Amino acid sequence: MSYLRWMQDTLQHTAMTLSSALNVDVVIADEHLTRIVGTGDFSNRLDEDCADDSLFANVIRTGQPQINLKREDSDICKNCSNRANCDEHANITYPIKPDGKVIGLVSFASFNEKQRETIDHKRYEYFNMLKYIANMIESEIVNIKVNNRMKRNIAEVNEIINCLNKGIIILNSNMEIIHVNTKALKTLSVDLSYTKIIDCHINTIIEDIKLEDTHNKDIVGSWKIGGKDIRVIYNIGELHLANDQLAFMISFDRVKEIMDAAKSYRIKEDIVFSNIIGNSEPLLQAINKAKIVAETDTTVLLQGASGSGKELFARSIHNESLRSEGPFVVINCASLPENIIESELFGYEQGAFTGASPGGKKGKIELANNGTLFLDEIGDFPLHLQTRLLRVLQERQIDRVGGSKPIDVNIRIISATNRDLETLVKEKKFRLDLFYRLNVVPIVLPDLKDREEDVFICSEYIIGKVCNRMNKEPKSLSDGVKKAFLQYHWPGNIRELENVLEHGICFATGNEIMLEDLPEYFLNNKFPDMSDRSYRDEALPNIDRYADLVIDQQKNLEQLKRDFEKKIISELIETYGDSVDGKKMVSKKLDIGLTTLYRKMNEYQI
């Protein structure tokens, strides 16, 4: 039984406290040379094995402590097979030997010259401190053994169930606990140093649990543990042992843990270019360009208005690239809080700032290692951090907040924006060198208003998807809606089309989506005078009505243009009304500001 693994959380907390106080890194490994506790650089190598010919292996084999202040002077280090990859400058290591048998070790280590000098200067104090820590761990293990006497013949079972990522409790025929794994202890908040659990009745730990075979079905229920109600998903199975003895095995998870895992787990979405709907020439050009660049590791800049499908393109590029098995990490540069953006992107080491998580944290850029990093809304990336992002692009390295050495990252960068980066560069709001690094392959995504033939293709797909989700009969668009869709400019692109159609499906009473089923804002923007839901063709100005405009040959082009402009504004004011709302509609129709409209009306005395 790996008692060190049972004590892992307590030992990790102790190691971080020591590391912070002594300015050294701490590692604890078990008898199999597997690191189970670590700080600093060791925290990234937990559950990794040390070399069989390393200094740690020598301590496990001999049961004797080792002081190694200069690895170049150590014969063991000189002959270690991992010497080329080892960054340790010095260490002091002490064995853990409860009952005289070596079951692991604890070590103080240095990864820089300052830490090495500290260990060298305080070698005797640190040696005695390690001896004390090893003795303390040994005493805890003895205490656990006394409180929870483990029979030798069941130790192998505990080793097996400790490999499972579910809480496991095995009971004998008297409903007494004979096996329990580490996950169960964590979930039940049981500290073996203070609580006897082996050979105790299950009701002393979980009150009023109903021990019935669930026949391999997962049951959602509530357990009372330590006076608190805990929601769990559990499975109870009968075990028939030798001599017809009956036992039970309980496997369980907390519902909260499963929900948290579901929220944080990123399912690889099966989004590829064939999922992009549309046949218009501008869209097909963008898709073809993206398909070509997907086969490379080239940096891509996606440019397009909000709702034009930039993330859809980014995911398609990733999923059809050689990095498709790696992570796809999204960073929305516009939504990151200013005060934590640096630590969120680049990560931080333990103790980097007040409130930092013990053991540090990987940043989103580091999490994208061996995959794709998607920088959405890159135009809003803070100017003061653009230099650090530039270094990531150039060197493929990051520096964690509070870190002492760079970390290599293997990432592909795809960025997206709905802003004009060249204008931002001229306004000194975006670095020119960063712009060049991002703009290696620019791909412009067309607006929906420039994809007229795609409006109905997309509508058909969206209607089918939404009707299926709402369990409604398939709908079609009425002729009035089709006409309105073609004349609308779709500022929100596909995202707005989805919203308009979902609203229409909700309120449609027949097989067709009618104008009156569409949202109020859409009708007001498209048909400002449709408060009675009537359709008026005359409310949609057509250039043909000005075909008979009399041209005065005595006037120059500028004067003729003024006459034409006056006539258009006059007609629209007559159509939409002279009210403030009417003028707002006219200014929107002409795509000019309301102030400009007032100026022109005054100028033309309208």
Q: What is the pLDDT of residues 364-421, one digit of tens each?
A: 899 999 999 999 999 988 888 898 889 899 999 988 887 778 889 999 999 999 999 9
Average confidence (pLDDT) over 340-364: 73
First to last CA, the chain: 92
Are residues 226 and 219 in contact, defined by beta-carbon separation less than 8 angstroms? no
pLDDT at position 304 is 92
The whole-angstrom separation of Cα 438 and Cα 373 is 12
In a domain, 220, yes or no: yes
Residue 247, SS3 per DSSP: strand
Are residues 347 and 401 in contact, defined by beta-carbon separation less than 8 angstroms? yes
Q: Quick one: pLDDT band at residue 59, thresholds 50, 70, 90? A: very high
The whole-angstrom separation of Cα 242 and Cα 363 is 52
Is the pLDDT at 499 greater than 70? The verdict is yes
> What one-letter code names the amino acid at 407?
I
Q: 16-25, 164-173, 427-436, 464-473: which has the highest mean pLDDT?
A: 427-436
Q: What is the pLDDT of residues 192-222, one digit of tens each?
A: 666 778 888 898 888 878 888 887 777 888 8
The whole-angstrom separation of Cα 77 and Cα 83 is 7
In a domain, 494, yes or no: yes
Quick one: what percent of the chain has pLDDT higher than 70? 83
pLDDT at position 384 is 85
The whole-angstrom separation of Cα 419 and Cα 197 is 62
Pairing assessment for the beta strands 177-180 and 167-171 based on DSSP bridges? antiparallel
Q: Spell out the alpha helix ranges (H) of 368-431.
A: 386-395, 421-426
The residue among 507, 532, 557 that closes a domain is: 532
Q: Spell out the alpha helix ranges (H) of 271-333.
A: 281-294, 310-319
CATH of residue 501's domain is 1.10.8.60
Q: Quick one: pLDDT band at residue 439, thresholds 50, 70, 90? A: very high
- 3-state secondary structure string across 56-104: HHHHHHHCCCEEECCHHHCHHHHCCCCHHHCCCCEEEEEEECHHHCCCE
Which residue, 387, 320, 392, 386, is CA-closest to 363?
392
In a domain, 190, yes or no: yes
CATH of residue 321's domain is 3.40.50.300
Residue 76: domain span:
3-147
Residue 437 and residue 422 share a domain: yes
Residue 294 and residue 212 share a domain: no
The number of residues in the chain equals: 606
Residue 427 and residue 490 share a domain: no
pLDDT at position 197 is 80
pLDDT at position 265 is 41
The whole-angstrom separation of Cα 393 and Cα 387 is 10
Is the pLDDT at 358 greater than 80? The verdict is no
In a domain, 538, yes or no: no
Residue 62 and residue 19 share a domain: yes
Quick one: what percent of the chain has pLDDT higher than 90? 26
Which residue, 518, 516, 492, 523, is CA-closest to 503?
518
Q: For residue 23, what are the CA distances in angstroms to 46, 112, 133, 359, 578?
A: 20, 11, 16, 14, 76
Q: For residue 39, what are the CA distances in angstroms to 11, 31, 33, 117, 226?
A: 11, 19, 16, 19, 32
**Of residues 378 and 47, more confidently modeled:** 378
pLDDT at position 544 is 44
Are residues 447 and 493 in contact, defined by beta-carbon separation less than 8 angstroms? yes
Residue 300, SS3 per DSSP: strand
Residue 69 and residue 108 share a domain: yes
| C-alpha torsion 244→247→251→254, nearest 10 | 160
What's the half-sphere exposure (Cβ side, CA atoms, 13 Å) at 47? 1
Average confidence (pLDDT) over 421-435: 93
**Of residues 220 and 95, more confidently modeled:** 95
In a domain, 537, yes or no: no
Residue identified by tokens 């309301």 is 594
Q: For residue 602, what are the CA distances in angstroms to 85, 569, 599, 606?
A: 79, 11, 5, 6
The whole-angstrom separation of Cα 303 and Cα 447 is 11
Angle at 521 between CA 518 and CA 527, to 5 degrees: 80
Q: Quick one: pLDDT band at residue 357, thresholds 50, 70, 90? A: low
Q: Which of 36-45, 228-237, 547-556 has the lowest mean pLDDT?
A: 547-556
Residue 247 and residue 127 share a domain: no
Q: What is the pLDDT of residues 545-599, one digit of tens each?
A: 444 455 556 677 777 778 888 888 888 887 777 777 778 778 878 878 777 787 7
Q: Quick one: pLDDT band at residue 29, thresholds 50, 70, 90? A: very high
**Of residues 140 and 262, more confidently modeled:** 140
The residue among 416, 441, 466 that closes a domain is: 441
Average confidence (pLDDT) over 305-321: 92
In a domain, 165, yes or no: yes
Q: Which of 106-110, 267-271, 520-524, 557-561 has the lowest mean pLDDT?
A: 267-271
Is the pLDDT at 268 greater than 60? The verdict is no
pLDDT at position 338 is 63
Q: For residue 327, what are the CA distances in angstroms to 5, 95, 248?
A: 30, 40, 40
Are residues 423 and 468 in contact, defined by beta-carbon separation less than 8 angstroms? no
In a domain, 268, yes or no: no
Q: For residue 560, what are the CA distances in angstroms to 251, 396, 472, 549, 557?
A: 85, 60, 56, 10, 5
pLDDT at position 351 is 64
Which residue, 580, 606, 489, is CA-closest to 540?
489
Q: Average pLDDT of the chain?
A: 81
Residue 45 and residue 115 share a domain: yes
Is the pLDDT at 263 greater than 60? The verdict is no
Q: Quick one: pLDDT band at residue 14, thresholds 50, 70, 90? A: confident
Domain count, the chain: 5
Q: 124-138, 185-199, 260-274: which has the highest mean pLDDT?
A: 124-138
- Determine the number of helices (DSSP H) and then strands (DSSP E) in the chain: 23, 19
Residue 479, SS3 per DSSP: helix
Residue 396 and residue 288 share a domain: yes
Is the pLDDT at 22 greater than 70? The verdict is yes
Residue 167 and residue 105 share a domain: no
Angle at 370 between CA 365 and CA 307, to 5 degrees: 60
Residue 387 and residue 295 share a domain: yes
> What one-letter code names the amino acid at 366?
E
Is the pLDDT at 334 greater than 60? The verdict is yes
CATH of residue 117's domain is 3.30.450.40
The residue among 220, 244, 263 that closes a domain is: 263
| C-alpha torsion 379→385→386→389, nearest 10 | -110
The whole-angstrom separation of Cα 186 and Cα 190 is 7
Residue 315 and residue 335 share a domain: yes
CATH of residue 165's domain is 3.30.450.20
Which residue, 466, 601, 591, is CA-closest to 525?
591
Q: For residue 71, what are the CA distances in angstroms to 95, 118, 266, 270?
A: 19, 15, 43, 50
Residue 597 and residue 495 share a domain: no
The whole-angstrom separation of Cα 109 and Cα 28 is 11
